[in-house]
């Protein structure tokens, strides 16, 4: 089945950046400006294509839409199977938007190996979109690992002083998790295959990697329950938990953020972390609902620790980027918490929180990048008085700080509140603990903002003289779309909530089959 | 002043409302649209306008829109107070759009206007407008007035969202937004470190209460399945219903939010520091409007509290304790604004005490009168500070009464009003609180009523005393003003003195207006009737009155009620007279040596003096707990993160790298080689995984 006007829209969105990357490879090295605009053009086309998909999407239909399916490795039943539901689509659009913004944000900062950088970025986009649209476990895994390579290069080549350590740590750490996941994928497929052989199905591999087939199979035969499910879920959990990242698997994140170039941090925080949350909802829960219930208490506890602990550690960070990185650990804790209380508002909130975190934290990293461009420093202790030196910058920073604090009217609030509310319904103690982060979040964010913007200009800033110019139009252009969406989703979160409602219901249905009575102490 | 206007306009407004009730569907949203439009306009163009055309150009839109807001509010207040159609007794709901559609949890972007909302609108829009006008004069020398007016507009928007909201979550939204505006305005002079710290402190301390409020909102949803205030309150008071979350807990969680915003002990610490903001801000936000939000919240949730009387005891206890605690600190402060700040805490404590004993109308009455006279006192203090060139220490004032006469006379009205001398406004509302508390105790056996009444009387005396201390040190006796400043002392411009006069009028007569022809004046003049405020607010508190089932008693001017009035007037007079003797009045000088002799009389008085001066060391305690100890905890957490958690990660890496000399050769640091190792390892793992799990069933 194909989408608008017979176009295979999903494949178009996914591989358009790849085509662009190939074209850019043939552009002359000595014309970086041409390369930049070409890359931006490709990213904008991908954004447009994803918006076309959004326009053609039927939110009332919970089934996978724009589905495409071709045999790829028929011997093992592996298919090129892609398609979107509301959840996928929301994250695809987030990806295409943030990629376009990231490429624009790289115009100034990236001055060496521009072509290679842009190619890496576009290939990164292919991987990210691929993860969100793949409906075949093997295809999903390919995209999942594809993401690592360009990110490895982006941090390792265009990163900061300690970039090699950071990028190797990032790649190895994520690989450990994802390889265990591959084992689990293979084991799941093999279990399916053996059952089909025993049942005398003539094509036993058929559907062995199809997530929908496998989920239905598991629900019917209960072969994915018990020890098998427990271990397989554990493997998926490790892969996704590292990516999110959940406490205590988070320590790669501050290192990677600090060393990554600005745009790398934006994508890292904005999209890569979402891969983990998405993985839980799309694969881990439907495939192993029983194991999900077994694991849930532990995951909830880890989420709560992450929420509070990330915020406390953020309170004492000396480096702007590290502070934002630890705030991500805290904010993403809401996502895993919202997923694993298996409750409607909580899950909707978790998804909204993923989108919001992408917008807000992406913007915060862009803003840190603006100051780093001018000062080549991110030490908070050296900052001060930007309110009078860079008033527009300070005001913009303040806006996103309060978005991150969770100010109602801006998008961060709705996601967090829905997550907390849903958690309260299911597990009031957990909600009570998580709500306390409201204080800590205000603490570290306002502390940072005070040190940065208030007071008299610091000696360090005075020493920079005229280099400390206010935010430039091109930098503002990267922030305005994010700010606009933060306001729009804050006042009208239904745009996201309605889009993902179908996915939420489907996921909860899958999980509730395993434990229909597990919903809540209150009811 | 306002209520004069309401009666004048009533005739003109009524026909419109009768002709087309739909007009309110437009007017009510306009109340929030106008200020936010002013904010947006000023944020975008204010700076340019101020630099290119002039200060007035930047001020025109924000001030003009607030005047328009006030006019719109008038048109709404009059019919809403009188329960006219389409408001009726239960108010009018205006839905704009569905804010949060999340399955079974739906929150509307909707407003609700009933008499309680209207009562708050009177205070918020009137004082808001006068403060805008006053600021034109007060901020005339600031290079960034445009920013100030933008923030003020943002505050008006937020406060109006708070009082108009029809759902708990929208109240919470307004709640947080007033917190933001307060943060921005306290930190308005952001290059001052003290202002930046005070702004941050205010926001964070408020958030402590907000945690409770947020959890309370979640509990209300779990209990009732709706976020709409009216619907949920109706469900919460359903007879015989049982709730997953016990109601006293819900009520206390909501009260936690109120404690933060209305600065009740121990969350009061932010308010005195908030005086770092420009004085018009202190008047508007930290005296007359925002700090009332907690009182409003509990009054709004009155059926919830009436159904959870254990929680009401806590409200009353914390309220009356804050009242006396803050008054004790106001005794010794020398910064004129800080005295007023502690006075505000103390008066807010009265309001909570009133709510806690179930004297709902009295609490709102005091909220309204206090809004006007405390707004007046703050604006007056700003005029004083302005006159003596940004000096706030009362030890460097004195003898100002003849140099700034308008400021002096208006502040004198405010002082007598807050002291509780009839017939000024504060007397009526304070007496109402104390009288109700006593009568609930006397007739209905509410023990807390005696406590509120007894302590309340002491606080009344203290209030009269420290307020006269403020007047004496500022206006009377000899001048202690810096000799260089002395010749330049001048009365403020009309933009500042006009609001003072306009606020002095309601400070003087609002008590009469809101009670006539009810007690105590009605009976005194032989007229039978009910106080208008009581009539207006009756439907709002009807459910609670029913639940509390307090007896009704005939008003006895020459009986219990008369004695109560006598008691409260007596203590106020004593406080004032002692204040006059010690701190002077007009040309009579204060007796500084007597004051010192009293403070140094013995160990106990010296201790009390130091305790009061150091605010009972609560800031020091907080500093120790949250900055020093909390900082250590956070620093430890980070050390733990780097050393233990990340250490373990790196440890695994190093062990892997260093394990076995033979293997070392393949550790080239290249990802390609690792990938090979991974491929091999993967095979091993896949096989072992299947072995562990065993054959499929």
Identify which of B134, B128, B183 has the alpha carbon closest to the alpha carbon of residue B156: B128
Contact A438 B211 (CB under 8 A): yes
How close A302 gets to chain B, by Cα (Å)? 14
The reply to whether A452 touches chain B by the CB within 8 Å rule is no
pLDDT of residue A518: 40
Looking up tokens 């109402």 gives B432
Nearest to B210 among A172, A438, A456 (CB): A438
Residues of B with CB below 8 A from A152's CB? 671
Contact B653 A172 (CB under 8 A): yes
Domain assignment present for A467: yes
Nearest to B211 among A180, A228, A439 (CB): A439
C-alpha–C-alpha distance, residues B45 and B116, integer Å: 36
Tokens at residue A462, please? 């005075």
Per the DSSP assignment, residues forming a β-bridge with A69 are: A81
C-alpha–C-alpha distance, residues B448 and B433, integer Å: 13
- CB contact residues (below 8 A), chain A span 484-503, against chain B: 491-494, 497-498, 501
How close A8 gets to chain B, by Cα (Å)? 32
What is the overall mean pLDDT for chain B?
Answer: 88
Domain assignment present for A27: no
Q: Is B525 helix (H, G, I), strand (E, B) or coil?
A: coil
The reply to whether A409 touches chain B by the CB within 8 Å rule is yes
Residues of chain A with pLDDT under 50: 1-3, 516-523
Nearest to A435 among B173, B211, B669 (CB): B211
Domain assignment present for A318: yes
Nearest to B634 among A152, A315, A454 (CB): A315
How close A363 gets to chain B, by Cα (Å)? 20
Classify strands A78-84 and A65-73 as parallel, antiparallel or unpaired.
Answer: antiparallel
Tokens at residue B47, please? 């700076």
What is the overall mean pLDDT for chain A?
Answer: 90
Q: What chain B residue is nearest to A491 in terms of C-alpha separation?
A: B99
Domain assignment present for A298: no
A-B interface: how many C-beta pairs under 8 angstroms? Answer: 175
Best A408, A453, A520 member to test B by mutation, with max B CBs in 10 Å, is A408
pLDDT of residue B690: 56
How close B187 gets to chain A, by Cα (Å)? 8
How close A48 gets to chain B, by Cα (Å)? 27
Q: What chain B residue is nearest to A149 in terms of C-alpha separation?
A: B671
Contact A312 B685 (CB under 8 A): no
Q: Is A200 helix (H, G, I), strand (E, B) or coil?
A: coil
Best B33, B102, B243, B688 member to test A by mutation, with max A CBs in 10 Å, is B102
Domain assignment present for A146: no
Complex ipTM, two decimals?
0.92
Residues of A with CB below 8 A from B253's CB? none
Contact A497 B102 (CB under 8 A): yes
How close B648 gets to chain A, by Cα (Å)? 10
Which are the contacts of A40, defined by CB distance < 8 A and separation ≥ 6?
A: A100, A103, A104, A107
Contact A442 B696 (CB under 8 A): no
pLDDT of residue A397: 94
Q: What chain B residue is nearest to A522 in terms of C-alpha separation?
A: B244
How close A132 gets to chain B, by Cα (Å)? 23
Tokens at residue B630, please? 């909390």
Length in residues, chain A: 523
Contact B200 A231 (CB under 8 A): no
pLDDT of residue B16: 46
Nearest to A190 among B97, B681, B690 (CB): B690
pLDDT of residue B676: 63
Tokens at residue A207, please? 């559907």
CA distance to A170, A236, B2, B358, per residue, from A284 (Å): 22, 6, 63, 54
Nearest to B222 among A184, A424, A454 (CB): A424
Best A312, A386, A433 member to test B by mutation, with max B CBs in 10 Å, is A312
Tokens at residue B467, please? 């307020």
Contact A436 B211 (CB under 8 A): yes
Which structural domain, as residue segments, surrounds residue A366? Answer: 304-523
Length in residues, chain B: 697
Longest CA span, chain B = 109
Residues of A with CB below 8 A from B695's CB? 194
Domain assignment present for A50: no
Structural domains of chain A, count? 1
Identify which of B497, B557, B537 has the alpha carbon closest to the alpha carbon of residue B368: B537
C-alpha–C-alpha distance, residues A176 and A172, integer Å: 6
The reply to whether A184 touches chain B by the CB within 8 Å rule is yes
How close B152 gets to chain A, by Cα (Å)? 16
Domain assignment present for A341: yes
pLDDT of residue B61: 93
Residue range B101-128, pLDDT digits in tens: 988 899 999 999 999 999 999 999 999 9
Nearest to B678 among A175, A428, A491 (CB): A175
C-alpha–C-alpha distance, residues B9 and B647, integer Å: 74
pLDDT of residue A49: 93
Q: What chain A residue is nearest to B641 in terms of C-alpha separation?
A: A251
How close A38 gets to chain B, by Cα (Å)? 30
Return the ∠ at Cα A143 (arms to A148 and A284), rounded to 5°.
100
How close A110 gets to chain B, by Cα (Å)? 24
pLDDT of residue B688: 57
Count other C-beta atoms under 10 Å from residue B303's C-beta.
Answer: 23
Nearest to A432 among B215, B634, B678 (CB): B215
What are the φ/ψ torsions at residue A210 (nearest 5 degrees)?
Answer: -85, 120
Domain assignment present for A263: no
Nearest to A446 among B200, B214, B690 (CB): B200
Classify strands B105-113 and A78-84 as parallel, antiparallel or unpaired.
Answer: unpaired
C-alpha–C-alpha distance, residues B379 and B386, integer Å: 10
Nearest to A438 among B102, B214, B637 (CB): B214
Residues B129/B66, Cβ–Cβ less than 8 Å:
yes
What's the distance, CA A93 to chain centroid? 12
Q: What chain B residue is nearest to A415 in terms of C-alpha separation?
A: B100
Looking up tokens 């109560």 gives B564
Residue range B527-560, pLDDT digits in tens: 888 889 999 999 999 999 888 888 888 888 888 8
Count other C-beta atoms under 10 Å from residue B44's C-beta.
Answer: 11
C-alpha–C-alpha distance, residues A397 and A470, integer Å: 12
Residues of chain B with pLDDT under 50: 1-19, 662, 694-697
Count other C-beta atoms under 10 Å from residue A467's C-beta.
Answer: 11
């Amino acid at each position: 089945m194909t989408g608008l006007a017979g176009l295979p829209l999903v494949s178009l969105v996914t591989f358009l950046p790849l085509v662009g990357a190939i074209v850019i490879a043939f552009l002359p090295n000595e014309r970086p400006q041409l390369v930049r605009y070409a890359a931006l053009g490709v990213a904008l086309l991908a954004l447009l294509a994803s918006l076309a998909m959004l326009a053609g999407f039927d939110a009332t239909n919970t089934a996978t839409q724009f589905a495409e399916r071709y045999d790829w490795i028929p011997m093992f039943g592996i298919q090129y199977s892609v398609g979107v539901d509301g959840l996928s689509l929301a994250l695809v659009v987030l990806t295409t938007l943030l990629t376009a913004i990231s490429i624009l944000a790289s115009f100034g900062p990236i001055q060496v190996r521009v072509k290679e950088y842009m190619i890496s970025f576009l290939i990164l986009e292919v991987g990210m979109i691929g993860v969100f649209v793949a409906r075949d476990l093997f295809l999903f895994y390919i995209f999942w690992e594809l993401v690592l390579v360009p990110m490895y290069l982006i941090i390792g080549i265009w990163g900061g002083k300690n970039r090699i350590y950071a990028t190797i740590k990032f790649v190895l750490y994520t690989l450990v998790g994802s390889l265990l996941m591959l084992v689990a994928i293979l084991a799941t497929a093999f279990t399916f295959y053996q059952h089909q052989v025993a049942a005398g199905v003539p094509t036993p591999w058929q559907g062995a990697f199809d997530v929908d087939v496998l989920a239905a199979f598991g629900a019917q035969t209960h072969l994915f329950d018990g020890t098998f499910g427990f271990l397989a879920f554990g493997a998926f959990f490790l892969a996704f938990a590292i990516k999110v990242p959940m406490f205590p698997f988070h320590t790669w994140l501050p290192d990677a953020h600090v060393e990554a170039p600005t745009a790398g941090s934006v994508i890292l925080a904005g999209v890569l972390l979402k891969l983990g949350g998405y993985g839980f909802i799309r694969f881990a829960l439907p495939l192993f609902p029983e194991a999900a219930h077994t694991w849930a208490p532990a995951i909830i506890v880890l989420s709560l620790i992450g929420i509070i602990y990330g915020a406390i550690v953020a309170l004492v960070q000396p480096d702007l980027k590290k502070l934002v990185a630890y705030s991500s650990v805290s904010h993403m804790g809401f996502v895993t918490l919202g997923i694993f209380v298996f409750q409607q508002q909580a899950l909707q909130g978790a998804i909204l929180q993923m989108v919001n975190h992408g917008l807000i934290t992406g913007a915060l990293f862009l803003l840190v990048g603006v100051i780093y461009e001018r000062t080549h420093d991110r030490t908070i202790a050296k900052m001060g008085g930007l309110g009078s030196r860079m008033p527009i910058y300070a005001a913009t920073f303040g806006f996103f700080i309060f978005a991150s604090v969770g100010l109602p009217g801006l998008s961060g609030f709705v996601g967090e509140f829905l997550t907390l509310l849903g958690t309260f319904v299911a597990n009031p103690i957990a909600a009570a603990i998580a709500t306390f982060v409201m204080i800590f979040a205000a603490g570290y964010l306002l502390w940072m903002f005070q040190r940065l913007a208030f007071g008299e200009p610091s000696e360090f800033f005075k020493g920079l003289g005229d280099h400390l110019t206010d935010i430039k139009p091109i930098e503002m252009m990267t922030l305005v779309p994010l700010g606009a969406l933060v306001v729009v989703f804050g006042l009208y979160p239904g745009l996201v909530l309605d889009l993902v409602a179908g996915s939420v219901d489907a996921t909860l249905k899958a999980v509730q089959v395993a434990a229909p009575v597990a919903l809540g102490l209150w009811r | 002043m306002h209520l004069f206007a309401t009666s004048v306009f009533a005739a003109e407004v009524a026909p419109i409302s009768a002709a087309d009730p739909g007009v309110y569907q437009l007017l009510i949203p306009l109340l929030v649209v106008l200020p936010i439009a002013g904010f947006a306009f000023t944020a975008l163009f204010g700076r340019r306008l101020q630099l290119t055309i002039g200060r007035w150009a930047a001020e025109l839109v924000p001030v003009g829109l607030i005047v328009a807001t006030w006019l719109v509010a008038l048109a709404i207040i009059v019919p809403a107070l009188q329960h006219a159609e389409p408001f009726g007794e239960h108010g009018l709901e205006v839905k704009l759009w569905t804010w949060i559609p999340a399955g079974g949890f739906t929150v509307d972007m909707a407003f609700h206007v009933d008499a309680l909302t209207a009562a708050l609108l009177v205070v918020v829009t009137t004082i808001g407008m006068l403060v805008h006008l006053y600021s034109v004069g007060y901020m005339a020398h600031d290079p960034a007035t445009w920013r100030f007016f933008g923030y003020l507009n943002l505050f008006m928007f937020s406060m109006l969202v708070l009082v108009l909201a029809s759902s708990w979550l929208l109240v919470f939204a307004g709640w947080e937004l007033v917190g933001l505006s307060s943060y921005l305005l306290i930190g308005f002079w952001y290059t001052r470190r003290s202002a930046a710290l005070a702004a941050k402190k205010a926001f964070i301390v408020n958030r402590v209460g907000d945690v409770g409020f947020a959890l309370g909102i979640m509990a209300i949803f779990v209990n009732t399945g709706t976020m709409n205030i009216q619907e949920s309150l109706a469900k919460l008071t359903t007879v015989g219903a049982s709730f997953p979350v016990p109601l006293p807990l819900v009520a206390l969680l909501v009260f936690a939010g109120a404690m933060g915003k209305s600065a009740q002990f121990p969350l009061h610490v932010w308010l005195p520091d908030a005086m770092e903001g420009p004085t018009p801000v202190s008047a508007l936000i930290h005296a007359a409007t925002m700090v009332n939000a907690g009182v409003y919240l509990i009054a709004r949730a009155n059926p919830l509290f009436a159904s959870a009387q254990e929680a009401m005891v806590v409200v009353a206890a914390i309220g009356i304790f804050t009242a006396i605690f803050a008054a004790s600190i106001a005794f010794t402060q020398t910064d004129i604004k800080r005295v007023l700040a502690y006075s505000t805490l103390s008066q807010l404590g009265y309001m909570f005490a009133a709510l806690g004993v179930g004297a709902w109308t009295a609490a709102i009455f005091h909220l309204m009168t206090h809004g006007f006279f405390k707004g007046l006192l703050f604006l007056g203090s700003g005029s004083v500070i302005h006159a003596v060139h940004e000096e706030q220490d009362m030890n460097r004032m004195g003898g100002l009464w003849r140099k700034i006469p308008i400021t002096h006379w208006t502040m004198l009205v405010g002082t007598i009003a807050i002291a509780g001398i009839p017939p000024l406004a504060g007397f009526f509302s304070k007496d109402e609180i104390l009288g109700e508390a006593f009568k609930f105790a006397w007739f209905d056996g509410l023990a807390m009523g005696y406590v509120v009444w007894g302590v309340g009387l002491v606080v009344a005396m203290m209030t009269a005393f420290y307020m006269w201390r403020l007047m004496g040190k500022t206006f009377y006796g000899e001048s202690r003003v810096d000799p260089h400043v002395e010749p330049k002392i001048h009365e403020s411009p009309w933009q500042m003195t006009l609001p003072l006069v306009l606020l002095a009028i309601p400070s003087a007569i609002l008590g009469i207006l809101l009670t006539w022809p009810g007690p105590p004046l009605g009976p005194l003049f032989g007229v039978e009737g009910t106080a208008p405020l009581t009539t207006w607010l009756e439907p709002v508190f009807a459910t609670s009155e029913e639940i509390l089932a307090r007896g009704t008693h005939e008003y006895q001017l020459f009986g219990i009620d008369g004695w109560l009035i006598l008691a409260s007037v007596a203590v106020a007079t004593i406080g004032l007279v002692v204040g006059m003797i010690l701190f002077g009045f007009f040309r009579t000088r204060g007796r500084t040596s007597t004051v010192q002799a009293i403070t140094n009389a013995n160990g106990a008085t010296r201790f009390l003096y130091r305790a009061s001066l150091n605010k009972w060391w609560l800031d020091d305690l907080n500093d120790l707990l949250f900055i020093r100890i909390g900082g250590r905890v956070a620093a430890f957490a980070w050390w733990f993160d780097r050393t233990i958690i990340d250490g373990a990660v790196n440890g695994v890496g190093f062990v892997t790298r260093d394990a076995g000399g033979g293997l070392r050769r393949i550790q080239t640091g290249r990802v390609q080689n690792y990938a090979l190792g991974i491929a091999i390892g993967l095979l091993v793992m896949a096989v072992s995984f299947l072995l562990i799990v065993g054959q499929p069933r």
